[in-house]
A and B are shown apart, each in its own frame.
Chain A
């Protein structure tokens, strides 16, 4: 893990009170600007002196970015809403419990009190070679230190690795994909909503970031449609210890079962690749089938097709297979 080396480097702190003001500064600063949400990821980077932005834009004073609002077609969650607020919100607990469950498993209570939903989905990779400031691909260099015979890669990717083998560490991301959420970004061209799964990108597209936000862009809100409200949800996170740890793998599913058959389903996993993976092939294969052990086993096998383990993360293949199996067939059936 990263070692705190020093006090933060000097930067100009800007504390806007509106989205427009925040975006104006970010537009001006481009690569020199840094978005500060809850600070749970940012302060690591800054105190380690690995990232040295000239201007930090603190969004904590932007009221528009906070709060949970019900809309005609679901709910809208401001990007600066804390994870604790998400966990405790009555509408989310009643209709979109999948998100509450995933947010509740993030880190520790203190971190959830400070960390935001926007920050959780936009946080950077936790690969220690990258976080330690080594000149790896993700840092703009020309090597992946984790994908070597001796590299410590127990937590790294088994799918869609492309030079870099870091994984996306978010717990709420797969839940939001399963809920068919829309991520609302403010760009220089105006508001741009994108499907949750399209918000995330792998190294084959851009090896230096985990999402599509360009310098100057801002994630403002996450909208969850009512399509999956009250569906049968499943979320499971596997980690080395039961509190305050990143997922080795997690799985989130939303399923509508009619007359004993899966009518509709969305399922996503995270921790297997550099982006949370929506398992469309699995969804297509099990639609119309009963949500039981046999269907779960088939889904699990399909989910890991093409997986390539690294030196120390072969366990992730059976783990992912079993998580998908449990998400479909249920824990009792597994």
Chain B
């Protein structure tokens, strides 16, 4: 079972043309298996989460009842991206599994929306949000080690509460960047092969081999996104994650959830934190 489909080009060279379509099912089944295994583990085997006690006393009254987490702009970006991503996945893969419709136009329009929204997000995140809050830091890595050791029954100190985003969120964001940017960059070039309003067709922009690799990368990113989006939606509807999902709708999370999951030292809200402020921590994202 070759994961790629190959063809002989007019010059007699063997070139890849795209991924083998069974990978769609591989990604879908892998996503489903992850959901099932994780749900069973959490239901029957997982121990209650424990965090290192906070050292500095926190005065709950100083924390707003509604802790701001995502600005309106950030939420608008997220849901625009979600809508375009779902449109892209449905228009890309439904025709491959038997639902036939005029998909190409919807696909490149959704891709264009996604590209513009991602460009906006890069600028917004770089200059108007706390850029580093979504990247793993030293404490994340140290705590990941502690959590793994405790998971396998080895002695280790308790991990600290999370900063604004748990490590899992940050890693997921990294995976989405890799898959999303791969799909977007290759997709923009692939638009040279269809009729759009943006630029004249030029199917000879690259060699057959380069085009083939581009289609392969686009396909791999696409099936990767099937897996990633499945996992994302699953966590979005899990009961213990719903406060986070709600914050992406309403923009805030409750004070109780904030104090339970997050470390005010690492994600300062309402409490003056000179050291963090000087480092540029803001709450706009």
Chain A residues packing against B (C-beta within 8 Å)? 134-135, 139-145, 147-148, 161-163, 201, 204-206, 308
Complex formed: what's the CA distance from A143 to B193 in Å? 7
Complex formed: what's the CA distance from A139 to B194 in Å? 17
Would you give 18 A-B contacts (Cβ < 8 Å), ordered by A?
A: A134-B10, A135-B7, A135-B8, A135-B9, A135-B15, A135-B17, A140-B5, A140-B7, A141-B7, A141-B17, A142-B193, A142-B211, A142-B212, A147-B201, A147-B203, A148-B204, A162-B102, A206-B95
The proximity string for B residues 80-110 relative to A, scoring 1 for CB distances below 8 Å and 0 otherwise, is 0000000000000001000011111100000
Inter-subunit contact B10/A145 (CB<8 Å):
yes
**In the complex, which residues of chain A have a beta carbon less than 8 angstroms from the beta carbon of B8?**
135
**In the complex, which residues of chain B have a beta carbon less than 8 angstroms from the beta carbon of A144?**
203
Complex formed: what's the CA distance from A201 to B101 in Å? 10
Q: Given A141-B7, A144-B203, A163-B194, A204–B17 Cβ distance below 8 Å?
A: no
**In the complex, which residues of chain B have a beta carbon less than 8 angstroms from the beta carbon of A147?**
201, 203
**In the complex, which residues of chain B have a beta carbon less than 8 angstroms from the beta carbon of A201?**
100
Complex formed: what's the CA distance from A141 to B8 in Å? 10
Complex formed: what's the CA distance from A145 to B9 in Å? 11
Inter-subunit contact A206/B212 (CB<8 Å):
no
Most chain A CB neighbours (cut-off 10 Å) among B7, B8, B9, B100:
B7
Is residue B267 within 8 Å, beta carbon to beta carbon, of the partner chain? no
Inter-subunit contact A205/B10 (CB<8 Å):
no
Complex formed: what's the CA distance from A204 to B100 in Å? 9
**In the complex, which residues of chain A have a beta carbon less than 8 angstroms from the beta carbon of B17?**
135, 140-142
Complex formed: what's the CA distance from A326 to B105 in Å? 34
Inter-subunit contact A204/B203 (CB<8 Å):
no
Complex formed: what's the CA distance from A308 to B17 in Å? 28
Complex formed: what's the CA distance from A206 to B101 in Å? 8
Chain B residues packing against A (C-beta within 8 Å)? 5, 7-10, 15, 17-18, 95, 100-105, 193-195, 201, 203-204, 208, 211-212, 215
Q: Which of B18, B100, B104, B105 lies in contact with A142, CB distance below 8 A?
A: B18
Q: How many A-B residue pairs have CB under 8 A?
A: 48
Inter-subunit contact B100/A143 (CB<8 Å):
no
Say how far A230's CB is from chain B's closest CB, in angstroms.
Answer: 38
Nearest CB to that of A162 among chain B residues? B104
Complex formed: what's the CA distance from A140 to B95 in Å? 14
Inter-subunit contact A205/B101 (CB<8 Å):
yes
Nearest CB to that of A141 among chain B residues? B17
Most chain B CB neighbours (cut-off 10 Å) among A145, A161, A205:
A205
Say how far A216's CB is from chain B's closest CB, in angstroms.
Answer: 13
Complex formed: what's the CA distance from A144 to B104 in Å? 15
**In the complex, which residues of chain A have a beta carbon less than 8 angstroms from the beta carbon of B103?**
204
Inter-subunit contact A204/B104 (CB<8 Å):
yes
Inter-subunit contact B102/A204 (CB<8 Å):
yes
Inter-subunit contact B203/A206 (CB<8 Å):
no
Inter-subunit contact B104/A143 (CB<8 Å):
no
Say how far B220's CB is from chain A's closest CB, in angstroms.
Answer: 14
Complex formed: what's the CA distance from A145 to B104 in Å? 19
Nearest CB to that of B6 among chain A residues? A135
Complex formed: what's the CA distance from A112 to B8 in Å? 35
Say how far B120's CB is from chain A's closest CB, in angstroms.
Answer: 29
**In the complex, which residues of chain A have a beta carbon less than 8 angstroms from the beta carbon of B204?**
148
Complex formed: what's the CA distance from A121 to B101 in Å? 22
Complex formed: what's the CA distance from A133 to B104 in Å? 24
**In the complex, which residues of chain B have a beta carbon less than 8 angstroms from the beta carbon of A206?**
95, 100
Report, nearest first, the 6 A-B pairs whose CB atoms are least far apart: A135-B7, A204-B102, A141-B17, A205-B100, A142-B215, A142-B17
Complex formed: what's the CA distance from A200 to B102 in Å? 14
Say how far A129's CB is from chain B's closest CB, in angstroms.
Answer: 8
Complex formed: what's the CA distance from A94 to B78 in Å? 66
Say how far B254's CB is from chain A's closest CB, in angstroms.
Answer: 49
**In the complex, which residues of chain B have a beta carbon less than 8 angstroms from the beta carbon of A148?**
203-204
**In the complex, which residues of chain B have a beta carbon less than 8 angstroms from the beta carbon of A139?**
7
